[in-house]
Chain A
Amino acid sequence: MKYSVCKAEDLQIGQMKAFTVERKSIVVVRSQEGELYALRNVCPHKGPALSEGSLDGTCTANEPGEYNLEKVGEVIKCPWHNWEFDIKTGCSIFDPENVRVKTFDVIEEEGTVFVQV
């Protein structure tokens, strides 16, 4: 089912907002490129709403002392224990195979944002 959640202009670049669809809390995010992504708005660890956390980037390195800033605006950090999730895949950064949040399809049509649930 396709549910309209907000007007496209209500989600600017770098913003995320929580919506309740079919009793599920879903966080919809607009990336730096303007793309929309939707994830289940519950951290799989202890349960707080991811939308209360921060939309941020993350870092990688191959050597001590190195910092490569990556995925700017594409990582949600949980408000409690800072677990990081990729907004595009829902996968955690620390264990992408086993720890992830569910993602949903998002469509932007004629100025309205729809989530597929």
Chain B
Amino acid sequence: MSETVLSQESAAKKTQFKVIDTDIHHDIASVDDLVPYLSDHWKRYITEYNWKPIKTTPFHQVRSGTKYRGDSFGESKRPPGSDFELLKKQLLDEHEITYGVLGGWFHEATVATGWFEFAAARAAAYNDYTIEQWLNKDERLLGSITIPADPVAAVREIDRVGPHPQMVQVMMSIGNFAWGDPRFHPIFEAAERHGLAIGMHLSADITFQGGEFLRYYVAWRAAHPQAYMTQVISLITNGVFDKYPNLKVALIEGGFEWVPFMMNRMDAAYKGLRQETPWVKRMPSDYFRDNMRFSTQPWHDISAKHFLDIIDMMGSDKMLMFSTDYPHWDFDAPKRTLPPKISDDLKNKILYENARELYNL
């Protein structure tokens, strides 16, 4: 890795930007890591009944450990993201991250379609694991609250761990249901009450409109933005931002070039179809600009001109936030991602300021 470090150091000599990484996947090595945080009742399912999360998406398609950066297993060969010291060295220190938002990789408890009691217990155990094994070890790390999809249990969990000073958002993992549905609104109410943002990140469980899984990982991955479109459409049309105008939603790892397209499409439809959802008081694009933020990874190697055109079409330079997606294979490094020719002001907003404002840092 010596060459990598050298090239990044030489790049850094231009202007030093502070960086907030808005998409880090810390992880458990196995569900055994949750055992210390479960009650005696729920412990048994792991220690005696050998319960394991259902794995739905077939990863490992193009090399060993496809899902992860090839250099993220470390000498201990622990599952990537499960070793605090390695993450600290390989991400926080090497890339000089000012703050890193841990989103975890425990969406299964959120998208589970039943047995919400156990899902709630797993989510709570994962949150306690995150606090004790990660947030307590490094002040740069910020947390996301994992919740079960059952709104009553979710609110209970937000009330329990939301006051922790390093918890900055509630993670609403994207599965095959839309979070704008009124039955989920108490979750938004709880987040707003605690001054927390909402994070949305895809789970491994998403399928696609008209195509289910699409057969191949490369196809499944290409279609991810579809699932994010479903969520933002659901939030707006169900009046979430009219009920909770201060709520901010971070859409993490779902792309951003499609955002101006959807802003225009929803505005155009609103003009004629507004009567169906009269509780939506503003033009849909206003909610995009005021209430939503989008992370930059996976970066698409687009030119500075095309990138600036997209920002122009969004009508705001406050909507994008840098992210690495460490330790996943499509990692973006802070010094090697944004087009070099954009202004320092815009770089600062994307690398740092927009996330700082969102998370009140």
Contact = CB atoms under 8 A, between A and B. Distances in A.
A3 interface: no
B63 A81 contact: no
Given A46-B336, A47-B336, A82 B63 contact: yes
Contacts of A52: 1, 70-71
Question: Which residue among B3, B8, B66, B69 has the maximum number of chain A CB atoms within 10 Å of its CB?
Answer: B3
Contacts of B1: 48-49, 52
Interface string A5-20: 0000000000000001
A80 interface: yes
Question: Which residue among A20, A24, A47 has the maximum number of chain B CB atoms within 10 Å of its CB?
Answer: A47
Contacts of A41: 3
B220 interface: no
B85 to A, nearest CB: 18
Contact of B69 (A25, A42, A79): A79
A48 B4 contact: yes
Contacts of B332: 46
Interface residues of A, number: 19
B330 interface: yes
Nearest to A42: B3
Contacts of A89: none
Interface string A28-54: 000000000000011000111100111
A77 B62 contact: yes
A36 to B, nearest CB: 20
A54 B336 CA distance: 22
B331 interface: yes
A51 to B, nearest CB: 9
A31 B332 CA distance: 31
A48 B241 CA distance: 42
Nearest to B336: A46
B215 to A, nearest CB: 10
Contacts of A79: 69-71
Contacts of A78: 70
Given A49-B71, A53-B71, A56-B63, 19 more contacts: A20-B2, A24-B3, A25-B2, A46-B336, A47-B7, A47-B336, A52-B70, A53-B70, A54-B63, A77-B62, A78-B70, A79-B69, A80-B69, A80-B71, A80-B329, A81-B330, A82-B62, A82-B66, A82-B329
19 contacts: A25-B2, A46-B333, A46-B336, A49-B3, A49-B4, A52-B70, A54-B63, A54-B64, A77-B63, A77-B70, A78-B70, A79-B69, A79-B71, A80-B69, A80-B331, A81-B329, A82-B62, A82-B66, A82-B329
Interface of A: 20, 24-25, 41-42, 46-49, 52-54, 56, 77-82
